[in-house]
A and B are shown apart, each in its own frame.
Chain A
């Protein structure tokens, strides 16, 4: 087509379309006036305003005009390009116009939605349209490239979300690498005793799935492993995984457990929330998958004092290997599902409730372990003195819905708190007094309200109010030796002091402590609450901002098990869809060096974060590898000879846009 240098003289035929977006734009911006103004701009041959440009008739309007009026450029003034740029690009392409000859002016998110003043909003919309019109003249057709998609996926995190995602992908016929940081998969769900509202035994419904993961021919489980580096892009990720030394040869170990039995080291068990002990060589719990122990070097007598080697002596299969070292494996995958879960809010941060300061104030997960038949108390709810409590207070929203900690609702605490109440009645006896201190009761799921009614009928007392403190300082004789919960019952505006034997703190769910690093590694964003940010809060809650990286479960935000499983299955489908296609279009807006202008200074060589630039020793110029370049444009801004063109974001295009926005 035209020569770039001839611009200004060569006439383009631009069509401008101003969208009303119902009243979203037209309620504030005078759309006909903006279209009218557009008609006065150079090279614009037609301008229309229309109710919904993204609708079928709206797109048809563009397509027909391209054909009938021979448009060579199209500008749509509507929402954010992050929303509908692909829609309009496709419409242009269907009418035979290269997608990169289309430009969008964001007059909704950046104009009508942020301005009340109609005159000023209209003026701003005109400026944005003027900018787009001036920019589009300089745009050039580009060809997108197709690259193959590696037919394998990686699932990071082996909780119920990861397990579900991995099984779905594997069942669809694709290879899955599952990476789990802990010695066993299972996640938090494996720690739970019962699940609300059906009171299914958590382990009973989870364990079969864990076993399926270990036996599925398409799943390769990398437990006790961590992702340390991620390179590449959608369809072609290169992931480096560190397999931490277990000091047990996975090939040889038969999982008999003799090493564990004989090991003299005893340390608090993480899985039992410190309530029980484990050995220095251990499986976190009996149903662990893989069923291979891990030697905890920091607590091993041999590693710390140089003597012992008992496990080695007793192991028939010679599986103990003290020389084992961390290993690194490089894996190629086409799609990634992040299912890294959550941390339970550490209740000791909220000093008022005395967690870790007062006996018999316990966390939710400690309570779960206590209730579990294979837990540290063999399923008995016991106080520090080994007796059963006669009264229990359960405090909701610890760390949640609290501007001091997390503003959000953790969505599961109301329900699991009521499950706790039921379990107290069930295990300790129906005459046990149970008090639920709640903020609001949120029983929103299927069967949840019914469960709430059931617990009420079981005689649990509900007190609406967030306790001010839990103390062991008595004021009356009845309070001696008790924990006293001080709260305002906000339904009757009255202060209450309730003496109980045990207090359970229903902590909220918070982002994993290393979420920031993980987000960086996978190049995705986090929302204000710290969880991973989904691509769209309504319409795309399973994709991240980075193509090919999907999110599932509580790493995206607190949710219950059914929602987690649903999201994981959805993420899996997206990953499968991507791999099924086999090919993917990649961004054409990369950078290139104009060899004739390059002085060979090599300034750009080191600036590129992807090492996409090499130096051609023969020609003495720098060369950009198109397949590796991601088009950030950093080097275009740095090149002293202006030899680097950042395609679709060229100097000429951006300068024209700046000029246009300032008219």
Chain B
């Protein structure tokens, strides 16, 4: 059987979650691998959430926010846009490949875009294989655990 990645989608309430709702209302089929957790704004996404997801066995994390300028709280997504690249640098050091975390903007009317992203992300993570911290970076994996717990 092929590997079925487990992907967490952390989506902001106003645009990307609504966009995912629209994909549903329009009956757009996409990979069932993406499971959605709602936050009010993408700016609420604490790097810990991403670490926790990997610690709990996720293979990928998709973070969704409103398009730049469209954040319901005016600038939350700008903060996300600055935080995630930093987080990715850290993940890299922990041995978590770049392709496992993605930050994307999806508007409330872009159901098709969400569908495409969910499929893309699933394939991308499938290609990377299951998330297993590499052996030499075991301390790193523990670090992940420690960070997530803390």
Contact = CB atoms under 8 A, between A and B. Distances in A.
Contacts of B35: 110, 124, 127-128, 131, 661-662
B25 interface: yes
Contacts of B69: 516, 520
Interface of B: 6, 8, 13-15, 17-18, 20-21, 23-25, 27-30, 32, 35-41, 43-49, 52-53, 56-58, 69-70, 72-76, 79, 83, 107-110, 115, 148
Interchain residue pairs A-B with the least CB separation, the first 7: A109-B24, A633-B44, A634-B43, A632-B73, A632-B41, A113-B24, A637-B46
A527 B109 contact: yes
A634 B24 contact: no
Nearest to A661: B35
Interface of A: 80-82, 106, 108-111, 113-117, 120-121, 123-124, 127-128, 131, 516, 519-520, 523, 525-528, 533, 545-546, 589, 607, 609-610, 630-634, 636-638, 646, 649, 651, 654-655, 657-659, 661-662
Contacts of B38: 81
B21 A528 contact: no
23 contacts: A82-B13, A108-B24, A113-B24, A113-B25, A114-B28, A114-B29, A121-B32, A127-B35, A525-B18, A533-B109, A609-B75, A632-B44, A633-B40, A633-B41, A634-B79, A637-B79, A649-B39, A657-B37, A658-B8, A658-B37, A661-B37, A662-B6, A662-B35
A637 B44 contact: yes
Contact of B39 (A519, A546, A630, A633): A633
Given A117-B32, A636-B46, A525 B8 contact: no
A128 B8 CA distance: 11
A51 B49 CA distance: 35
A630 B43 CA distance: 13
Nearest to B58: A662
A220 B40 CA distance: 37
B76 A609 contact: yes
B32 A609 contact: no
Contacts of B83: 637
Nearest to B75: A609
A632 B40 contact: yes
Given A658-B8, A658-B56, A662-B6, A110 B46 contact: no
A249 B127 CA distance: 71
Given A82-B18, A633-B40, A607 B79 contact: yes
Nearest to B43: A634
A634 B40 CA distance: 9
Contact of A120 (B6, B32, B39): B32
A549 B13 CA distance: 18
A609 B15 contact: no
A657 B8 CA distance: 10
Contacts of A651: 46, 48
Output the residue of B15, B23, B46, B148 with the most chain A CB within 10 A: B46
A104 to B, nearest CB: 9
Output the residue of A128, A630, A638, A661 with the most chain B CB within 10 A: A661
A589 B39 CA distance: 12
Given A609-B75, A634-B41, A654-B39, A109 B25 contact: yes
Contacts of A116: 29
B79 A113 contact: no
Nearest to A589: B40
A631 B45 CA distance: 13
B57 A662 contact: yes
A263 to B, nearest CB: 42
A634 B49 CA distance: 14
Contacts of B57: 662
B73 A609 contact: yes
Contacts of B17: 82
A284 to B, nearest CB: 33
A661 B24 contact: no
Given A533-B108, A609-B75, A110 B21 contact: yes
Contacts of A111: 24, 32
